[in-house]
Structure 1
Amino acid sequence: MSNNRALRATVLAATFGAAGLLGAGVASAHVTANIYGSQPQKGGNAAIVFRVPNEEENAGTVKVEIDFKPEYAISSVRYKPVPGWTAEVTKTTLPSPVKNGKNLDVTDPVTKIVFTAQPGGGIAKGDTELQEFEITASTLPSNVDELVLPAIQTYDDGQVVNWDQVQTGDTEPEHPAPTVQLAAASSGSDEHASMSTGGGTASTDSTDDTARWLGGAGLVVGALGLGAGAGAVLRGRRAAK
């Protein structure tokens, strides 16, 4: 996280802390796909962080598999190394090519990535630990509004949990699939704006927003200071009289 973003988060925490607590309910125990920064655009790239909490009291998580639909035509997935884990990206050759978000043919799209804990490692048993796995994916499809990325969580006692249920109504399923919402492509946008940098997301728009926010706060503080100074002058004149 950049210094500007950290400063902004610190200032806003006092106001929105309660809302954050209310939003961290049952969903926090699910495997989720998170975007830390601006929403990825159709036909662009995305830095996605999969958050995997352990939920079994007597077993730890030793493998996490993320599946990608072949029709998404994602040609490249890179991952950030996680200490104590290995990762393997799988591509599948299709009988006929599919079009990606830039209308180019893809014959061997990425269909999965598997993170496997090294011996003696993994996410500890119980419900107090989680692990995040960060990837970048490109090119994103242009014909869907949402990526559905089913996950398979394997425990060291052999238990397997499939996070692959798609929500169709207001009620969240027991094992919802991780999802990522895609924004409409903007003309002339820089498709690299959402690439990951050290666990976060570099975003020019975010930096500009932060600068404007801090600038506005500075004007408010300056106005208050000017008002206080004027009040002090008036009080001094009255005392002299």
Structure 2
Amino acid sequence: MPSITTRRLVTTAVLAASVVAAAAVPAFAHVTVQPGTATQGAYTAVAFRVPDESDTASTTKLEVSLPADHPVASVATEPLPGWTATTEKTKLATPIKTDDGDEITDAVTKITWTADAGAKIAPGQFQDFKVSLGPLPTDTDKLVLKALQTYDDGTIVRWIEDAKAGQAEPEHPAPTLTLTKAAADGDHPAGAAAAPAGAQAAPPANGSSDDPTARILGIVGIVVAVIGTAVGVLGLRRRTDRA
């Protein structure tokens, strides 16, 4: 018979796996922006990652709001088969001045993606919605990009809560793009170089370090290793007891 210590080891490993899995799933279920950081004043390409967390309904629409108080002059969506993207502009209280001395008096403040009949995000699936943005604001350290996710049963999930530093993460956090200062002497971090107006930066790679799926798989791998070790110890103890 296995010893009490061995049984406790196996039980602890199983409990650890359950806790990690429970903590990982909510993080994956959030609507997020990938990657989560970009450089102030630069052009970048991001993807809004939308998982379908319903057991029975499919996602048919995504609406993302861009803040009018920190406007982005150039916003372009990447074509996505089966989805129609539309944009809405808002008159700016303070026009944006371009490098050429021109003024931009309105800017995109909302993007809506609507699915065709056969292009819904089914339960257990996710979809990336890619956008080119720039130049990014230099007067803030983050862009809170509030999103609404609509399901075909009429449910609307509002990803609009602003996560505060030092506080617990809200139930429905808004996708947030953190903006960092540009490097000194005109040096730009890799992937953050400024682009001419209308240019699109390369879309974020699916293997980005900000990918929640990659993080979850890494955590699961650690848990599996712990359980494997526990099982190995149990087998060794049983062989020792029989000897």
TM-score, normalisation: structure 1 = 0.65
Task: After TM superposition, give the deviation of residue 192 of structure 1 in Å.
Answer: 3.2
Aligned-partner Cα distance in 2 for 1:145–1:101? 21
- Check whether the contact 1:42–1:101 (CA below 8 A) recurs between aligned residues: no
1:6-55 Cα distance to aligned partner (Å, 9 max, x none): xxxxxxxxxxxxxxx9984421100000118xx42111112111100001
- Check whether the contact 2:63–2:148 (CA below 8 A) recurs between aligned residues: yes
SS in 1 for 2:39: coil
Equivalent residues in 2 for 1:195-206, closer than 5 Å:
195-197=200-202, 200=205
Pick from 35, 39, 42 the counterpart of residue 44 of structure 1.
42
1:164-211 Cα distance to aligned partner (Å, 9 max, x none): 00112331100000001111023424313995336539xxxxxxxxxx
Aligned-partner Cα distance in 1 for 2:98–2:160? 24
Amino acid at match of 1:173: P
Task: After TM superposition, give the deviation of residue 162 of structure 1 in Å.
Answer: 0.6
Equivalent residues in 2 for 1:1-241, closer than 5 Å:
24-35=24-35, 39-94=37-92, 96-99=93-96, 105-124=103-122, 126=123, 128-168=124-164, 169-186=166-183, 187-188=185-186, 189=188, 190-192=193-195, 195-197=200-202, 200=205
Amino acid at match of 1:170: Q
Amino acid at match of 2:202: T
Aligned-partner Cα distance in 1 for 2:29–2:98? 32
Distance 1:199 1:183, change over 3 A: closer
- Check whether the contact 1:123–1:131 (CA below 8 A) recurs between aligned residues: yes
Aligned-partner Cα distance in 2 for 1:61–1:100? 38
Identity of aligned residues (%): 39
Gaps spanning 5+ residues in structure 1: where? 1-20, 202-241
Number of residue-to-residue matches in the alignment? 177
Aligned-partner Cα distance in 1 for 2:203–2:66? 24
- Check whether the contact 1:72–1:100 (CA below 8 A) recurs between aligned residues: no
Task: After TM superposition, give the deviation of residue 154 of structure 1 in Å.
Answer: 0.5
TM-score, normalisation: structure 2 = 0.65
Gaps spanning 5+ residues in structure 2: where? 1-20, 207-243
Aligned-partner Cα distance in 1 for 2:24–2:150? 24
**Per chain length, whose mean CA-contact separation is higher, i.e. which structure has more relative contact order (CA < 8 Å, sep 6+)?**
2
Aligned-partner Cα distance in 2 for 1:159–1:191? 40
Amino acid at match of 1:183: T
Aligned-partner Cα distance in 2 for 1:23–1:98? 44
Amino acid at match of 1:174: E
- Check whether the contact 1:43–1:100 (CA below 8 A) recurs between aligned residues: no
